[in-house]
Every structure is written in structure tokens, then in C-alpha cells.
Amino acid sequence: MDYTVPTSGLDSSHFLSLPRPSITLATSSDTPIVDTTTLAAHDFDVDPRTGFMPPQPPVERLPNDYSQWEELLQDACTERLTGLGQNRRAHRRGVSAFRFYPLLQLLKSEVLIRRAHHVLAWIMHFYIHTQPLSSSDIRIPPPITLPLLQICRELQLPPVLTYSDDVLYNWGLINPDASGTIDPQNLWVLTSFTSTPSESHFYLTSARIELIGVRALALMESTLGELFAGDDIALRRITRYLNELGGGTAADKSNSASSRGIIGEMELELNNMTAGCDPRVFYEEIRPWFRGVDSGERRWIFEGLELDEMLEEPKELSGPSAGQSSIIHALDVFLGVEQYSHGSAGTESQSEKPTFLSRMQLYMPRHHRNFLSHLQNNRRSLRTMVLDTCAAAAYSDIDPSDARNLLEAYNSAVMALKKLRDSHIVIVTLYIISPARRAAQEKREREREAIQGLESRQEEAPLKGTGGTDLAKFLKGVRDGTRDAVIRSGSLEN
């Protein structure tokens, strides 16, 4: 399926072309600054051509005043700081020797401040994960703490690598002269820890899924518009949109790519992960760099907070996760399944708050969080409309066949989302759970050999994801919750 999107230049009124409403500048200048949250057209930074991805390639370098940051990041990527040795120590010395740069130039531009978060968060992860294992706590020096936390205050993001740093704002065009469209096969990765093809393929798979999701966002918009109409024609259009999203009923499906539906295409792209990302390379060489505090055993101590009274001790420090993808959250909210799929999945108790869904939204670009909140608070609920239509079909002038077709289309979309999560569990098992079990088994065998045959039985601790959850329990809970959101056909019985 061709899902290329156009790359025409940005209009002067586009969100990314406007001065950003800086927290710092707003309190230190009398000059009025455009607050983009009041502009309906660009309120959510969701582009009709690229969705949650930016409409043009992210900037690849900060201005010359910040060249030391860029050079340190480039050196870290080029040297591939694996193992123990001079390169790792040199990187840590370089971080400690950072100069303090005024952020004024960055605060005026959304694209530059995004790049600054990207650069500093990657440098920090290189710094943290090259520390000797003997270190009890990780102390992050003031030259990183101050600019990163000041930038995070502006962006309302945590000081840690996020999905947007790895995927949304981590791509360029192989052939920048390609006219008219962004071809998903024309993307390359700006920054990586290992410079391996596996790492690039890992990020680009997610980027391509985001681009497929653009059409899902368009169907959501069309559906919400029809919900306001609420007549028979609107009901049939919504049914068609849901069939496009989920692939239609089982009777309508064939083996052709077009019959998969948009969610099915996203699943197909996810399954393509195995074509270019080696599970061993991912688990042993790539994934360790992602770790945040939640999935590690050592605290992160940000030094120098006392130098800026506006800064606070960070509380959210999970690593990047697919759970931070706004397109997947949007599908949950649009279909009305989030209360089933994310209500308490992966938590220790039914009452634990906040849910994983709300926690992961803290790691999303703030305008994307606003989009999800707007979608969630919409007065017209798709799921409620489906339930009401099925209930009314028995005693109103609604054609029962129209109600049945709507119900089947809705359930098809829900089950397509459940199937996408089935595939995600398979991928996570292949890339994380199985390698972790093998590593744990090998460790136990070494321990048994070390104590000369005395049997050592240890209870295996649950494997945590980069978001800090019990990985297997969480994923199965979300998958099963999605399945439970299917509306039973009894709603149509007289």
C-alpha cells in the first residue's frame, strides 16, 4: 500500500512557523508572543500530511553557538561507546566540561528547542550508560542538568529520552531532492547509539507506522464530523470509515493488502521489524542505552538544581517506549476502548494511579497530549453512538441492517487493534522476553557451576519494560482489555 505524504513548504501561519510562547520569555519581556494554543488550525501540531510526525525533516544541527553540544553528540555516536575504555571516559569528561550557553536563541523556535532536547537527552543517556557498573548512583553534572531541565520546563517534557527523540524528530531524507512526497523508504536516522542497521530499522519501523496512521487520523476527523449530523447517511458513512480502519467484516476480507484496513497495515509494518532488526543485537547492544530510572537499579541525581530556583527535581524518568506513541493512544480513545485496555493493565492493584496511559502521555509533545485530551473529552462518543444505535434499532425507524453493519464494522476495528497488540506481544517476546529468559538461565547455570554443583533456586523477577511496568503482564492485560471492548451482538436482539 502506498502511503506517501506531500512535503510542500509550510504556510506562514503554520504552528512551526510562528514564534513559540516561551515560559521564560513571557516573564522577562513586554513583547507579546503568539500563543499557539489559541489557534484552532494548529493547536495540536498534527499535520494532515504527516500526522504526529513533523511536516518537514527536523533540523539536523543547532546554531553555531551550540556547536559544542552537537560535536559531543557526534563524537559519541561515531565512537560507539561500547565496552570500557578511553572513549567512555573522554565522553564523560566532555560532558563535565560543558560551557553554559544562554538559551534565548532556542526559546524563540519550536524546531530548535526540540532539537536541543534531542541532543542533550542523547548526550545524557550516553553519559549515564557509560558509568562504571560499580557506581551506586548516577550523578548528572550541572552542565547537563541546567540546560536540559530548562529546556524540559519549556517543552513540558521529562529530562530523559522519549519516543519523540528516537522516532518523531530523528529522521532525515536520504534524497532531499525527492519532489512532492515523503517516501517512507527515503528516510534515514539522524542519531543512534550503535550505528547498526538494526537500530536504524527499529526506529524507522515506528516512523513508518506513524505515517500509515495519518489516514487513520483523517478517518477519525471525518467520523467525528458525522457524529454531529447523526442521521442515516452519517450512520452509513461512519460504517464505511470503520471498515476502512479495521478492514471490514470477516466475510469481506481477502488476502489482498487493501483488505487489511489501516490498522492491519500498521500491524504488517510492525511484523516487518524482523526483516531488518536482529533480536540479539537489539537486546544486547541497543536496548541497554534506553534504560531510565524505572527499569534500572541506580538513582539519577541531577546536580546543580539550586542554581535555578525555577527548576524542580524530576519525577518521571522512564525510558522511551512504544507506549508513548500518540497514534496508538488516539486509536484507543477514538474507539472508546481505553477504559478497557488501559484502565489498570500492568498495575499492582485496580486503584493504582496514574494509569500507564496517563503516565506515558507525560512523555509526548505537549500539543499531542492536548489532542488526546480533546479527543477524550469530545461530547460525541463513537462507542456510545454504536451502543445507542443498536439499542434503538428494535423500536425506532433505524434500519436493523444498518445497525448491524455499524456494529460489525466497529467490532472489526476493535479486533484489528487487538490483533495489532497480538503482534506486538510476539515482537516483544522475540526481542526482549525470550533473550532475557535465556540470559537469566545462563546466569543461573554459571552460579550453579560456581558453587560446585550445589543447586541454587531463585525466583525469577518480572521483566520490566522501559516504561517501568511488568512487561508481559502489562502487554497481555492491554491486549485482553482491547478484546473485552467488543460489543456483543445481543445489543441488536429484539
Binding residue positions for heme b: 424
Residue 205 corresponds to which cell in the numbers above?
Answer: 519501523
CA dihedral 174, 175, 178, 181 (to 10 degrees): 0
Judging by DSSP bridges, how do beta strands 171-173 and 187-189 pair with one another? antiparallel
Which amino acid makes up residue 417? L
DSSP letter string over 335-359? HT-HHHHSSSTTSSSTT-SS-HHHH
Cell numbers standing for residue 431: 526481542
Radius of gyration of the chain (CA): 24
| Amino acid, single-letter form, for residue 57 | P
3-state secondary structure of 187: strand
Asked whether 161 and 288 are in contact (CB, 8 A), the reply is no
Helices first, then strands: H and E counts in the chain: 19, 6
Q: Which SS3 state, helix, strand or coil, does residue 271 take?
A: helix
Determine the Cα–Cα distance for residues 260 and 255; give it in Å rounded to an integer.
8
Residue 291's CB is within 10 A of a number of other CB atoms, namely 22
What are the C-alpha distances in Å from 207 to residues 184, 289, 399, 449?
A: 8, 20, 42, 45
CA–CA distance, 66 with 100 (Å, rounded to integer): 10
Residue 181, SS3 per DSSP: strand
CB 481 within 8 Å of CB 343 = yes
DSSP string, 88-129: HHHHHHHHHTPPP---HHHHT-HHHHHHHHHHHHHHHHHHHT
Report the C-alpha gap between 392 and 231 in whole angstroms: 13
Pair 281, 435: CB distance under 8 Å: no
Report DSSP state, residue 219: H
Binding residue numbers: 424
